[in-house]
Amino acid sequence: MAARAGPLCDGRHDDADQRRPRGPRIPLVPDPHRLRGDQPARLRGLRRLPGLAGPREALRPQVGRLPEGRDLVSDSGNPPTSSYGPIGRMGGWMAGHFKVVAIAWAVIALGLGFLAPRVEHALSGAGWEATGSESVTAREKIDQNFAGMSSSALMVVVHSNSETVKSPAFANTVKEATAELKADSRVTDVMPPQPGVSISQDGKTAVIQAGAAGDSNEMVFAADDLKTRLHELQGDGVQVSLTGASGMWSDFNEANRAAMMKSELISWPVTLAILLLAFGSLVAAGLPLMLTIIGLIASAGSLYLATKILPVSIWAMNFALMFALALGIDYALFIVYRFRGALFGSKEPVEQAVAETMDTAGKAVLFSGITVLISLTAVMLVPSPAFRSMALGIMISVIFILAATLTLLPAVLGKLGPRVDKLALPWVHTGEHRSAKFAAWAERIWKRPALFGIPALAILLLLAIPVFSLKTGMPSIKVVPEEDGSRIGYYQVQDAFGDGAPGAVQVVAPQAEAARVVAVAEADPNVARVMAPMPGGDGLAMVQVVPKSDPSNRATGSTVERLRAELPPAALVGGTVAENHDLENLLSDKTPLVVGVVLVLGFILLLVALQAPIIAAVGVLTSLLGTAAAFGVAKLMFQDGNLSGLLGFESQGFLDAWGPVFFFAMIFAISMDYTVFLLSSAKEHWDKSHDAREAMVGGIAHSGRVIFAAAGVMVAVFFTFALSGPLPPKEMGVILGIAVLLDAFLVRLLLMPVLLRVLGKWAWWLPKPLDRILPNVKFGH
């Protein structure tokens, strides 16, 4: 039955209608609820349509199938939701079943929210080790056979500028500290200060060692509980400080939690303000925050459950917070912008507007989320508990954000409908999905690509050059605030016993080889002194070797390598210095593998999404260039110390060794996020027009505003971490903020459009052999 323009059918021929495949139509009439005043004369004499009881029922829009089984169109002349792909149909279903979706997410949020507050005290700061390495094996043997006097042992420093160990006040403080340690069930033996070993020559510094009864994570928790009680013992000019690896991680965790709280207090209002400007509506601006809050609650509760199975680093929660906020904003911006365009611009019914939105923007979000997850999965290739738990934390948050975006957000949009623009700012123009300003920007780039492309490429290459002189190292005591006890005690030990004393190398060997171990250690040029062998269980002996250099100095790592090369084969070299050295080497070895896996899998995903190998490769390579530029800036700042005064940090002379692997995966994931948004929009225009200019201009016009707004929010959020006290979160915030700044504005909104212009139609070329094996993915219908 043909459709004709008239009072009983839509008859529109606007752009939105032309874009869609036309299905068979039957005469439809407006919803009676939309009618105002008297019915038109031509409606009063309406003949009964087949299958209807009378003219009154004819006023209801018909939904169903024609006798021959073909779908009907809606009253706006648009295709029904059944014509969309799986993501679109699912979005349409969610929009029509708000109560079911809301109840499901309420159950998830309440169930996991009940556990969320407990996660803070269940997370660990330890786990920075290379699983299966020689140093970890040495630590395990020391814990078993030497009363837990390994790198996890607690070290209590008693110091006075005026008193000595023989004075009553000093001796009494040592006695009380020893009793406090013995009373804790997580401590095995307590070794009191010994002359010539743990008492300084001037008698003003004494060290009490307490063996670890638990693993490194449990001893960090023990340090949390003990440091305050030990601090309360000081007085009469005598100081008491808990230091060592466990004490350092305890202080770092506490400072890190405080820094995160400070950053959150600043970032949330800033985020809301930027979102309000981006959306122009208070209701729409609240949707990304809804996703973020639900993602955070669910992630925190899930991480608490994970701590019951395996140790989870405190960094897992930090990164989960950042990614939940970043991706929640990204995905909500992309979805809501598209929804408003479909609802107000094309005048589609609400459920159909949601279906179209999810069939296009929702599909891009799904590919983006999978790309992020794959990038983080590559970090799992690093066999270190801290790394794997951090990646796990981010992946959990991404999964919840992605699930909420694909289910809860379309349900809420279906419920809100036009009210999504409620409380709008006065200058907002409803339905502007295509940005005229970004379209004009794209046209300028198309006309003069060299003018924009050459400077953008030059800046990125110049910023990337310092990467080739980037140095890495394990975090030193400088990551702890100066006023914390572990750092105070660390420097007191160095002043009393030498620079290398806080990080003595521990060598475990058969007792028959003990003399040989001592001889080799004493012959090393960087060894200050060697302790007498300590007999232990299982026929083993432990020799403690004090280097001349600071534990964070590269010379100390070289000392570990020389000892391993010259000691008897049965000897194991361990201690904090050796553990850090092994982890640093592991990270250096695994970095090429992680980078390669991320690049290859990222290319495959882009290839599947875009159906175009050339532009998929360009997307990966430009993401790599932006990442390299971000690391170049990181080298100039954190290794060379530029802007250290402004940002309030003390340079370690290197970038933390975990940075290259982890930050690469995170930065690449975020940059691919923007890549998918931009190129999926461009691909949608290419599929409709097969015009390279329209693909580039249309892609920028439809995604540019989203990328600009999302990047603005993320840069603001990440830079709030620059206000953090500890160095690692400061590094994290600044590096990620710079990476987003460079990628969004130099790469996605400058360099990528130029490359699309230069490549022209070849950007979307698909060889026939690939066409036969790739799944058919369309960002449209």
Say how far apart CA 189 and CA 585 lie, in whole Å: 33
Residue 338's domain is classified under what CATH number? 1.20.1640.10
Q: Is residue 490 part of a domain?
A: no
Buried b (16+ CB within 10 A) or exposed e, 646-683: ebebebbbbbbbbbbbbbbbbbbbbbbbbbbbbbbbbb
Task: Quote the radius of gyration of the chain (alpha carbons, Å).
Answer: 32
Residues 402 and 537 in one domain: no
Residues 140 and 107 in one domain: no
Distances (CA, A) of 361 to 49, 116, 677: 38, 31, 8
Residues 592 and 714 in one domain: yes
Which residues does residue 529 pair with via DSSP β-bridges, in sequence order? Answer: 546
- Please tell me the chain's helix, strand, coil percentages from 3-state DSSP, rounded to the nearest 5: 65, 10, 25
Distance of CA 516 to the CA centre of its chain: 48
pLDDT of residue 8: 34
Tokens describing residue 561: 């390598």
Tokens describing residue 78: 């648009």
Distances (CA, A) of 76 to 61, 80, 89, 376, 601: 10, 10, 18, 44, 42
pLDDT of residue 517: 96
Last residue of a domain, one of 237, 270, 303: 270
Say how far apart CA 736 and CA 734 lie, in whole Å: 6
Say if CB 497 and CB 506 are below 8 A apart: no
Residue where the block lists tokens 């490194």: 216
Say how far apart CA 90 and CA 95 lie, in whole Å: 9
| Strand stretches in 192-319, DSSP E | 205-212, 238-243
pLDDT of residue 222: 93
Residues 93 and 75 in one domain: no
pLDDT of residue 18: 40
Q: Is residue 42 part of a domain?
A: yes
Q: Is residue 408 part of a domain?
A: yes
Number of domains making up the chain: 5
Residues 294 and 384 in one domain: yes
Say how far apart CA 120 and CA 304 lie, in whole Å: 8
Say how far apart CA 193 and CA 209 lie, in whole Å: 8
Residues 168 and 102 in one domain: no
Residues 214 and 103 in one domain: no
Residues 94 and 58 in one domain: no
Residue 523's domain is classified under what CATH number? 3.30.70
pLDDT of residue 482: 87
Last residue of a domain, one of 208, 242, 270: 270
pLDDT of residue 528: 95
H helices of 341-448, in order, are: 350-357, 363-379, 385-406, 408-416, 436-447
CA atoms within 13 A on the CB side of 155: 31
Last residue of a domain, one of 270, 300, 330: 270
Mean pLDDT by 10 residues, the chain (781 residues): 38 40 42 41 40 39 36 46 80 93 95 90 78 94 94 95 93 95 94 91 95 89 93 91 92 82 80 82 86 89 90 82 83 88 78 90 89 88 89 92 95 91 66 78 95 96 95 85 92 95 95 95 96 94 96 93 95 95 92 92 90 94 93 93 83 85 87 87 90 94 88 85 75 88 93 95 93 80 51
Q: Is residue 218 part of a domain?
A: yes
Q: Is residue 284 part of a domain?
A: yes
Domain range for residue 149?
128-270
- The DSSP H or E segment spanning 473 is strand 472-473
- The DSSP H or E segment spanning 299 is helix 282-307
Output the CA angle 406-410-412, nearest 5 degrees. Answer: 130
Residues 91 and 237 in one domain: no
Which residues does residue 534 pair with via DSSP β-bridges, in sequence order? Answer: 542
CA atoms within 13 A on the CB side of 422: 10
pLDDT of residue 119: 87
Residues 133 and 116 in one domain: no
Residues 529 and 622 in one domain: no
Residues 596 and 714 in one domain: yes
Say if CB 618 and CB 457 are below 8 A apart: no
Say if CB 509 and CB 567 are below 8 A apart: yes
Say how far apart CA 365 and CA 621 lie, in whole Å: 21
- Global confidence as pTM: 0.79
Q: Is residue 498 part of a domain?
A: no
Q: Is residue 582 part of a domain?
A: no
Q: Is residue 477 part of a domain?
A: no
Distance of CA 322 to the CA centre of its chain: 6
